[in-house]
Structure 1
């Protein structure tokens, strides 16, 4: 199964130079700009132009409409499978999606570090093949420059949960400057942030072949 992974498009999806075809398109959150239902309608129209047989979307910290008006948001996103602490099985591959990130400032879908996030990750079923989260696990695609000091801002509890599972892949975004492909043991980790640090949608989609995952 060929996964095409994107994230953090911030309503700039029409400006992405190229989206390769594949079996499943995964969007790991922050698909919206202002976080409105209008943004979702535009995203949905764009998704409808893409050839992928299956499309999975989760929310991120900019995606207010999915938090504030969840029923309307889900109705509007008719061209994709929306996951929020929920899963779907596609051709024998089990996906799980979760939008949560460690709390900072006042954004959507945030939980405090420690027990609240631990409890969220505990919902991930043991029988999961591909995990989709908006934020990264600690130490993988999560490095940011804060006051001229580089720091890992990913979630330690998420990393610990990943280590407990036998995942083929973890797909996330959130930290634009962490874009790229990583490896932890037999699990591939993908920071699929499409927008650069300057919010330009120029990072290419990350292609992941599950037939090669775990090798």
Structure 2
């Protein structure tokens, strides 16, 4: 089983530990669980360089499955993703995944043909657990799923109150969103505020900021946070999948 096992000091930079998130190894979770999530993100068409994925109930990909967003790259990824042994596979798009903006119908059809649940501002109920997919992020160059602050506030307001697993491409502001090169937190303010309003939320899974890779549990409400970026800042697919157990 190739899952994240790391000390607190190397799971994430201290700049990623805002909002009382205790950064630790996923192996510190309780052994009993209702559902096991295997979380990955930002594979950037390098999925074939990854070792076998760990076992789990639901495989979750938080966006940037392709390198440059072509349908051919999506087909290649979907073939690999669909062949994974997990009972259910959830996918959202990221800023590199232009095909989902340019040709949503065909992109969705590719996913469905491989047994993948693609979510874009939508809910999926899997074994009684409510998942929601949210691909939009703060504006970054001229990339897919850019949204300004006003639009993001409208979009996050549509996240239902009863969501238990939230999958977004962007991190929330101050949680696994630190970019050392620019010296700033690049997460979404509106998303962070909406997360605080979701009474049933158990887990938030994201990617986008490769340097923010890590796992933590917020002390005051026990929400589990994961930036599951597989690729490093050098686009090397060497980060390990993150396991989240849902009670």
Question: Which band: TM-score by shorter chain?
Answer: over 0.9
Distance 1:104 1:47 in 2: 27
Contact 1:18 1:204 survives alignment (8 Å): no
Pairs within 5 Å for 1:65-76 = 65-76=99-110
Instruction: List structure 1 runs of 4+ shifted beyond 4 angstroms.
Output: none
Q: How far off is 1:142 after superposition? A: 0.4
Q: What's the secondary structure of 2:180's corresponding residue?
A: strand
SS of 2:235's partner is coil
Of 161, 173, 176, the match for 1:126? 161
Aligned positions of 1:188-207 closer than 5 A: 188-207=224-243
In the alignment of these two chains, the number of paired residues is 208
Aligned to 1:22: 56
Deviations 1:42-91 (A, max 9, x none): 01110132100100000000000000010011111122100000010011
Q: Which residue of 2 aligns with 1:158?
A: 191
Query: Could you say what the CA RMSD is over the residues aligned between the two structures, in angstroms?
Result: 0.9
User: Is the partner of 1:161 in helix, strand or coil?
Assistant: helix
Deviation by residue 1:80-127 (Cα, 9 ceiling, x = unmatched):
1000000100111000001000012100001012x2111110110001
CA distance in 2, matches of 1:86, 1:14: 28
2: CA distance between counterparts of 1:202 and 1:146? Answer: 20
Residue 140 of structure 1 and its aligned partner are, at CA, apart by 0.6
3-state DSSP class of the match of 2:45?
coil
Query: Which blocks of at least 5 consecutive residues in structure 2 are unaligned?
Result: 1-34
Q: Secondary structure at the match of 1:164?
A: coil
Correspondences of 1:14-93 after superposition (within 5 Å): 14-77=48-111, 78-79=113-114, 80-93=116-129
Whether the 8 Å CA contact 2:210–2:229 is kept in 1: the answer is yes
Name the SS of the counterpart of 2:191 in structure 1: helix
Per the alignment, residue 169 of structure 1 pairs with 203
Indicate if the aligned counterparts of 2:82 and 2:89 stay in contact, CA closer than 8 A.
Answer: no
TM-score, length-scaled by structure 1: 0.94
Structure 1 portions without partners, runs of 5+: none
Identify which of structures 1 and 2 has the higher relative contact order when contacts are C-alpha pairs closer than 8 Å and 6+ apart. Answer: 2
Residue in 2 that maps onto 1:97: 133
